[in-house]
Structure 1
């Protein structure tokens, strides 16, 4: 029998106009402390975002998501935050921000495979 591991995740939201509080889900960050796992999966539907928010710089959204990838991976794309322990990196990524890319509330669950759970969450919550 495989071990059941607890995890936490946040949905990453593209929020083009913070004042209107409108958003589109574009990614998920999943942290599983027991497995020493932190990763992001994302998908930007450029046509949908361009239709909803014509003035949005879609390359800026993708750059912000690449930064999140760097933080998760612990590489240079994530700047200073990438050099901290995994738990602190997740704390950094889940903190509220007033930028075009914002995390939603923290949720949790249990899984036997954090990577597979991340893909499930991406499919369910982002599309």
Structure 2
């Protein structure tokens, strides 16, 4: 049996109109300190998002999600936030904010394969 590693994750929500408190899950960020793993995955259903707010700019939402992906990857898409250690990056990404893209509550679990767990969470919570 493989070692089970503790991980934390947040679901990224798109909240097109904060005043209505409606949201659509569009991504997941998973952090596993023991595996030195921080990764985000996302998928935007443009039709469902437009049903919440016909005026939403889906391309801008995708740009925001690419920024989150860049922070996780530590590349130029994540700007200055991409240059800090993984734990701090996850802290930045899980911090509450009142923008169109918001992290949900932090959840945790155990896995032997963080990448596979991220795929499972994306399939279960976003698709």
Query: TM-score, normalising length from structure 2?
Result: 0.98
Give 5+ residue unaligned stretches, structure 1: none
- The residue number in structure 1 matching 2:94 is 94
1:25 & 1:32 partners in 2: Cα distance?
21
Residue 44 of structure 1 deviates from its aligned partner by: 0.1
Give 5+ residue unaligned stretches, structure 2: none
- The residue number in structure 1 matching 2:82 is 82
Give the secondary-structure state (helix, strand or coil) at the position aligned to 1:7: strand
Query: Aligned-pair RMSD on alpha carbons?
Result: 0.6
- The residue number in structure 2 matching 1:113 is 113
- The residue number in structure 2 matching 1:25 is 25
Residue 6 of structure 1 deviates from its aligned partner by: 0.3
- The residue number in structure 2 matching 1:43 is 43
42-51 vs 106-115, which moves further: 42-51
Residue 53 of structure 1 deviates from its aligned partner by: 1.1
Deviations 1:38-61 (A, max 9, x none): 001111001111122101110110
Following TM superposition, where does structure 1 have runs of at least 4 consecutive aligned residues deviating by more than 6 angstroms? Answer: none
- The residue number in structure 2 matching 1:126 is 126
- The residue number in structure 1 matching 2:63 is 63
Residue 79 of structure 1 deviates from its aligned partner by: 0.7
1:50 & 1:17 partners in 2: Cα distance?
11
2:13 & 2:65 partners in 1: Cα distance?
10
Count of paired positions: 127
Deviations 1:15-54 (A, max 9, x none): 0111211100000000000000000111100111112210
